[in-house]
């Protein structure tokens, strides 16, 4: 049971952003993805979820052995893939419960679950009734992504800078929430703090659209000291 | 516009199976020959046993109709052939107050559009219009005890000729515009509502309109009189089945809101896509009265409708919440008019429109604050959502503030559904169609919230049906 990325090359408007990316994310494990700004981390996240702007020119994405690289995002989601967005879109007039209920029948159980999760994440109850991400603070947006992940219970989740803009308490809350998940998790971050809390099985370093290093989590402290330039 | 699915070679065709496009076989006792002559008008009046004064109103309106040019300032009306329209149809079924007595084929039609359910639940009374004649009417006894009159317009004229004569055409005179003249000449059906002073009608009064014959014009006439300190909410729902010939719907609604009275008039409308929907709706609001139009425009080939309020008494308020959805080959030319004729009156217009699949929406509005109307306020918000590059939205606002103590705020926002927004929703498992529908319903929700629940549910369902097939 794993998400396998195999020799993936991706371009946007004939510019190659990712080349020959290969790695495996097993269900239940946590993998950190780090790299300098512009190295292609978010591009990879969006490609895996199926954003139409990112064209796969070669390679494949296999979710539990099924090639999903030609499927639209909704079908990838239905197979158990989740993306926690770095910049989630605002949805005027649509709250998180309506969003999740439109693909899951039981509105009542979603409501109960959402309220419970909101409480655990120290989100105001009202936030599950408000237009999603509209006038939300940075922290509320990130917590709401984690809340959706919990509601959807994916097999594999990509979390793109889920820690940016969070204070220390919020960081602890979401990381303990993420740790409870049984999904395979790819965590994209710039900061060692989240990785220390999540204790990932492995770290991948992405530079200029290529994976330059597979490392154990020991590399985190080295990166803190000397940055990416030596890798 | 599917940006997320593999490109398919099939071309976009309008859904052949229009969900409300059922046409049932119904016997008509009388169907006027196509075309409009003095003979037709006299025949209608004779059939209805009307008093001579009403015949005279009809005849002079006919003369005005014949003289007036077809308006050129709004949507394209050039394809309406007034000579091909049947101006009066009388089903072989008299108006009855008991649901059991209604013809089973007519019931079947109503079943399909969901009237009986609504009736059983929480209706205060139903006037369901079947073509040009009210064939089913019921009025709960508690309303009758309060002295509330809720009848078909024809019946209203028979039972309360003096009351009708006092108000009929006083707010929308037949010379107002060509379509109002037409309606006045050939009107049939519609509702007559009278609310006595200080009477509150807590449940909405509901009417359901429907066109059910090829090339059948429907010209209903509604008159609502809300006496001092009274309160009423009137709901009209419209649905028309599929026909290939062009149909014309030209209604007139006149509402008198007396001192301190409150009236809400809600329209949930879904005409078939060949219908021209050209409606004149006007309210006069006296001192401290409140008028609110909630106007949902779905379907039709062309809708031209601008509910208006004449604020004639101090501190009167007028409000229009308008919703328009235009898909392929549709033009919704809608808006509102507010005339501030007295001091300290206030008005608010919220117009939300959605265009998709090459559809076009236009907001056309007028706010006028007269010189003597000091200290007035008006706020206009036009909010347009455009789903794809083939679709279009325009705004034609006119604001005239003729004194220095009044203000008009105008805000117009055009937004497009972005790729990133759709992608976000689809990443949660929604199909592209579900995503667009959810965005549209969210966008329209501030207005849909103002509609009674059972209609709001239907409205959401209609939006969903209308948008089906728009994703190619």
pLDDT of residue B6: 39
For an interface test with B, the pick among A49, A88, A92 (most B C-beta atoms closer than 10 Å) comes out as A92
Which residue of chain A comes nearest to B425, CA vs CA? A99
Q: Which of A53, A72, A94 sits opposite B426 (nearest CB)?
A: A72
Note whether B389 and B358 are within 8 A (CB).
no
A26: tokens are 């097993």
**CB atoms B5 and A131 under 8 Å:** no
Burial group, residue A125, by CB count within 10 angstroms (0-12, 13-18, 19+)? exposed
A230: tokens are 């030596």
Most confident of A156-165, B30-39, B151-160: A156-165
Q: Are β-strands A210-215 and A202-207 bridged in parallel, bridged antiparallel, or unpaired?
A: antiparallel
Model confidence at B216, in pLDDT bands (50, 70, 90)? very low
pLDDT of residue B98: 53
**Interatomic CA distance for residues B185 and A37, integer angstroms:** 73
B103: tokens are 């013809």
**Interatomic CA distance for residues B261 and B270, integer angstroms:** 30
Strand runs labelled E in B196-316: 205-210, 221-226, 231-239, 247-249, 252-257, 262-271, 275-285, 290-299, 302-305, 308-311
Note whether A73 and B424 are within 8 A (CB).
no
pLDDT of residue B26: 55
Residues paired with B347 in a beta bridge: B318, B378
Q: Which of B6, B418, B431 sits opposite A74 (nearest CB)?
A: B431
B173: tokens are 């005179």
User: Cβ of A197 under 8 Å from any chain B Cβ?
Assistant: no
Strand order in the sheet with A55-63: A15-26, A2-12, A55-63, A66-67
Chain A residues with CB under 8 Å of B424 CB are 85, 88-89, 91
Q: What is the dihedral of CA B453, B458, B463, B464, to 10 degrees?
A: 110
A58: tokens are 């070669």
Which of A231, A203, A207 is closest to A217 using CA atoms? A203
**Interatomic CA distance for residues B432 and B376, integer angstroms:** 45
Q: Where are the domains of chain B?
A: 28-467
pLDDT of residue A105: 66
For an interface test with A, the pick among B3, B385, B414, B423 (most A C-beta atoms closer than 10 Å) comes out as B423
Q: Are β-strands A2-12 and A55-63 bridged in parallel, bridged antiparallel, or unpaired?
A: antiparallel
Q: What is the dihedral of CA B366, B370, B374, B378, to 10 degrees?
A: 0
Output A218 or B87, whichever has higher pLDDT.
A218
Architecture of the structural domain at A2-94+155-226:
3-Layer(aba) Sandwich (3.40)
Q: How far is B442 from chain A (nearest CA, A)?
A: 4
B438 φ/ψ sector (left φ>0, alpha ψ -120 to 50, else beta): alpha
Q: Which of B427, B431, B438 sits opposite A83 (nearest CB)?
A: B427
pLDDT of residue B418: 84
Which residue of chain A comes nearest to B424, CA vs CA? A89
B75: tokens are 């949507």
Output B10 or B258, whichever has higher pLDDT.
B258
User: Cβ of B427 under 8 Å from any chain A Cβ?
Assistant: yes
pLDDT tens digits for A167-215? Answer: 999 999 999 999 999 999 999 999 889 999 999 999 999 999 999 988 8
Burial group, residue B31, by CB count within 10 angstroms (0-12, 13-18, 19+)? middle
Q: Which residue's entry shows tokens 């003729």?
A: B402
Which residue of chain A comes nearest to B430, CA vs CA? A74
**CB atoms B429 and A50 under 8 Å:** no
Residues found in chain B: 472
Which residue of chain B comes nearest to A94, CA vs CA? B442
Q: How far is A106 from chain B (nearest CA, A)?
A: 15
Q: Which of residues 5-34 of B touch A (CB under 8 A)?
A: 5-6
Question: Can you give the C-alpha Rg of chain B in angstroms?
Answer: 22
pLDDT tens digits for A91-137? Answer: 999 999 999 988 876 778 888 899 999 999 999 989 999 999 999 99
**CB atoms A93 and B442 under 8 Å:** yes
pLDDT tens digits for B89-139? Answer: 655 444 445 555 555 555 555 555 454 444 433 333 344 444 444 444 455
Chain B residues with CB under 8 Å of A131 CB are 442
Q: Is the Cα dihedral A66, A69, A70, A71 positive or negative?
A: positive
pLDDT of residue B24: 53
**CB atoms A72 and B446 under 8 Å:** no
Note whether B58 and B185 are within 8 A (CB).
yes
The C-alpha angle A180, A183, A185, rounded to 5 degrees, equals: 95
For an interface test with B, the pick among A89, A103, A110, A155 (most B C-beta atoms closer than 10 Å) comes out as A89
Q: Which residue's entry shows tokens 């989601």?
A: A77
A82 φ/ψ sector (left φ>0, alpha ψ -120 to 50, else beta): beta
| pLDDT mean across residues, chain B | 82
Q: Are β-strands A210-215 and A55-63 bridged in parallel, bridged antiparallel, or unpaired?
A: unpaired
Say whether pLDDT at B350 is over 50. yes
**Residues B149-181 as b or e (16 or more Cβ within 10 Å = b):** bbbbbbbbbbeeeebbeebbbebbebbbbbbbb
Output B346 or B83, whichever has higher pLDDT.
B346
Note whether B96 and B136 are within 8 A (CB).
yes
**Interatomic CA distance for residues B326 and B332, integer angstroms:** 6
pLDDT of residue B95: 45
pLDDT tens digits for B20-54? Answer: 444 555 556 666 667 789 998 999 899 889 999 99
**CB atoms B442 and A94 under 8 Å:** yes
User: Cβ of B460 under 8 Å from any chain A Cβ?
Assistant: no
A–B CB contacts, 8 A cutoff, strictly below: 84
User: Cβ of B342 under 8 Å from any chain A Cβ?
Assistant: no
Chain A residues with CB under 8 Å of B5 CB are 72
pLDDT tens digits for A28-50? Answer: 999 999 999 999 999 999 999 99
pLDDT tens digits for A38-82? Answer: 999 999 999 999 999 999 999 999 999 999 999 999 999 999 999
A141 CB contacts (<8 Å, ≥6 apart)? Answer: A88, A133, A165
Output B229 or B145, whichever has higher pLDDT.
B229
* pTM for the structure as a whole: 0.81
Mean pLDDT along residues B165-172: 97
Residue B133 to residues A112, B60, B61, B88, B107: CA-CA distances in angstroms?
Answer: 49, 23, 21, 9, 15
Strand runs labelled E in A90-193: 156-160, 184-188
Q: Are β-strands B89-91 and B125-130 bridged in parallel, bridged antiparallel, or unpaired?
A: unpaired
Model confidence at B456, in pLDDT bands (50, 70, 90)? confident
**Residue B37 per-residue DSSP state:** -
Q: Where are the domains of chain A?
A: 2-94+155-226
């Amino acid at each position: 049971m794993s998400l396998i990325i195999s020799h993936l090359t991706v371009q946007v408007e004939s510019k190659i952003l990712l080349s020959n990316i290969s790695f495996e994310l097993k269900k239940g494990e946590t993998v950190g993805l780090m790299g300098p700004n512009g190295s292609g981390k978010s591009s990879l996240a969006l490609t895996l979820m199926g954003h139409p702007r990112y064209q796969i020119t070669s390679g494949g994405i296999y979710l539990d052995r099924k090639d999903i690289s030609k499927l639209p995002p909704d079908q990838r989601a239905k197979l158990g893939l989740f993306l926690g967005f770095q910049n989630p879109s605002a949805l005027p007039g649509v709250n998180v419960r309506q969003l999740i209920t439109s693909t899951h029948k039981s509105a009542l159980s979603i409501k109960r679950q959402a309220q419970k999760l909101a409480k655990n994440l120290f989100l105001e109850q009202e936030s599950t009734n408000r237009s999603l991400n509209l006038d939300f603070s940075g922290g509320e947006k990130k917590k709401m992504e984690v809340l959706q992940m919990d509601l959807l219970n994916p097999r594999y989740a990509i979390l793109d800078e889920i820690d940016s803009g969070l204070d220390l308490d919020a960081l602890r809350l979401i990381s303990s929430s993420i740790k409870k998940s049984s999904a395979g998790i790819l965590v994209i971050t710039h900061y060692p703090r989240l990785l220390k809390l999540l204790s990932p099985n492995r770290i991948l370093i992405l530079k200029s659209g290529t994976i330059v290093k597979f490392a154990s989590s020991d590399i985190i402290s080295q990166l803190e000291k000397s940055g990416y330039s030596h890798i | 516009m599917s940006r997320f699915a593999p490109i398919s070679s099939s071309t976009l065709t309008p859904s052949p199976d229009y969900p409300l496009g059922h046409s049932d076989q119904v016997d008509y006792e009388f169907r006027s020959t196509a075309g409009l002559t003095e003979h037709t008008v006299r025949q209608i009046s004779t059939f209805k046993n009307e008093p001579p004064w009403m015949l005279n109103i009809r005849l002079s309106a006919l003369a005005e109709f014949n003289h007036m040019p077809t308006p050129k300032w709004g949507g394209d009306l050039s394809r309406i052939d007034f000579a091909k329209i049947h101006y009066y149809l009388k089903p072989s079924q008299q108006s009855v107050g008991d649901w059991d007595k209604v013809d089973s084929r007519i019931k079947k039609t109503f079943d399909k559009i969901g009237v009986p359910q609504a009736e059983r639940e929480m209706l205060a009374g139903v006037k369901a219009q079947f073509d040009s004649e009210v064939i089913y009417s019921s009025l709960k006894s508690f309303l009758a005890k309060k002295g509330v009159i809720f009848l078909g317009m024809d019946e209203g004229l028979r039972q309360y000729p003096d009351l009708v004569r006092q108000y009929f055409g006083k707010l929308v005179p037949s010379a107002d515009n060509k379509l109002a003249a037409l309606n006045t000449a050939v009107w049939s059906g519609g509702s007559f509502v009278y609310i006595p002073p200080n009477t509150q009608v807590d449940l909405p009064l509901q009417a359901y309109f429907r066109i059910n014959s090829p090339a059948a014009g429907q010209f209903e006439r509604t008159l609502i009189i809300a006496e001092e300190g009274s309160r009423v909410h009137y709901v009209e729902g419209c649905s028309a089945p599929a026909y290939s010939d062009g149909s014309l719907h030209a209604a007139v609604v006149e509402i008198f809101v007396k001192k301190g009275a409150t009236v809400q008039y809600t329209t949930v409308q879904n005409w078939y896509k060949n219908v021209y929907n050209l409606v004149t709706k006007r309210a006069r609001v006296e001192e401290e009265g409140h008028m609110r139009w909630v106007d949902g425009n779905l379907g039709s080939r062309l809708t031209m409708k601008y509910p208006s309020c004449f604020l004639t008494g101090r501190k009167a308020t007028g409000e229009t919440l308008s919703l328009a959805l235009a898909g392929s080959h549709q033009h919704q030319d809608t808006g509102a008019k507010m005339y501030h004729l007295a001091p300290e009156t206030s008005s608010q217009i919220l117009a939300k429109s959605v265009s998709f699949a090459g559809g076009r929406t236009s907001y056309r509005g007028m706010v006028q604050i007269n010189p003597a109307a000091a200290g007035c306020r008006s706020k206009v918000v036009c909010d347009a959502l455009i789903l794809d590059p083939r679709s279009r939205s325009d705004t034609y606002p006119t604001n005239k503030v003729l004194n220095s103590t009044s203000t008009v705020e105008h805000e117009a926002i055009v937004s497009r559904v972005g790729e990133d927004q759709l992608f976000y929703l689809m990443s949660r498992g929604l199909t592209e169609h579900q995503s667009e529908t959810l965005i549209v319903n969210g966008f329209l929700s501030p207005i849909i919230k103002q509609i009674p629940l059972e209609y709001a549910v239907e409205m959401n369902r209609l939006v969903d049906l209308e948008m089906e097939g728009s994703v190619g």
